[in-house]
Structure formats: C-alpha cells, structure tokens
C-alpha cells in the first residue's frame, strides 16, 4: 500500500518563486524559493522569518518568457506584452 502525504502533495503543486533574498534581521543573503505571494521568508542563518526578496523573483517551473533582447520583464498592454527595453510587442513562439 502506498501512503501519500497530502500536505506535501499540495505543497508540491503550489506555484513557487525563486530569487535573491536578504534577511532584515541578520543581513544574510541567499537564493530563496517560496510559494508565490509569500512575503516573509525564513532566514536559513538565524531562522527568523524576516527575509524578503530583494529583486525580481521568478516562477521556478522554467516557464519564463524572454524577449529577443534578453529582457524578462514585460508591460502588459491591451495589444499584448510589450518589452520596455526594446519597445517590441512579444508573442509566444
Ligand atoms: Zn537572518
Ligand atoms: Zn526586448
């Protein structure tokens, strides 16, 4: 009989983000992975929940669009995603 941990299975299905984080308590910086929308992250150094993403954080399932110019941040417009770096509207391949 296979026992499934439902809490873990639900956690595995939750979309996660990855990005650089810094602890406001002790100043430690690390590459954090947390459920999307999580504001305070537990610091791996001091174990206090005062870490925060300090730059863009990305979904960690590999599904990230990138403009031909290398930019990954888009403006959502009525005409589609616009790259603010080169001014080109992008479409998925
Ligand atoms: Zn810390
Ligand atoms: Zn671009």
Domain residues of the chain, as ranges? 1-59, 63-93
Q: What pLDDT is attached to residue 30?
A: 97
Distance 75 CA to ligand 2 centre (A): 11
* pLDDT tens per residue, range 14-24: 888 889 999 99
Q: With a threshold of 0.75, does the pTM exceed it? A: no
Distance 26 CA to ligand 1 centre (A): 4
Q: What pLDDT is attached to residue 23?
A: 97
Q: Give the residues of the chain that fall short of pLDDT 50.
A: none
Q: What pLDDT is attached to residue 22?
A: 97
Distance 65 CA to ligand 1 centre (A): 32
Distance 45 CA to ligand 1 centre (A): 5
HEC string for 13-36:
HCCEEEEEEEECCCCCEEEEEEEC
Q: What pLDDT is attached to residue 39?
A: 87
DSSP state of 33: E
Q: What pLDDT is attached to residue 42?
A: 96
Looking at the CA of 74, name the nearest ligand: 2
Residue 36 to residue 24: CA distance in whole angstroms? 20
């Amino acid at each position: 009989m296979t026992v499934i941990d439902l809490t873990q299975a639900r956690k595995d299905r939750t979309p996660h983000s990855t990005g650089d984080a810094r602890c406001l308590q002790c100043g430690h910086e690390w590459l954090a992975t947390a459920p999307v929308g999580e504001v305070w992250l537990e610091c791996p150094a001091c174990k206090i929940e005062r870490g925060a993403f300090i730059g863009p954080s990305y979904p960690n399932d590999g599904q990230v669009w990138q403009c031909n110019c290398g930019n990954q941040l888009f403006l959502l417009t009525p005409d589609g995603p616009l790259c603010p770096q080169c001014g080109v509207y992008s479409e998925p391949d």
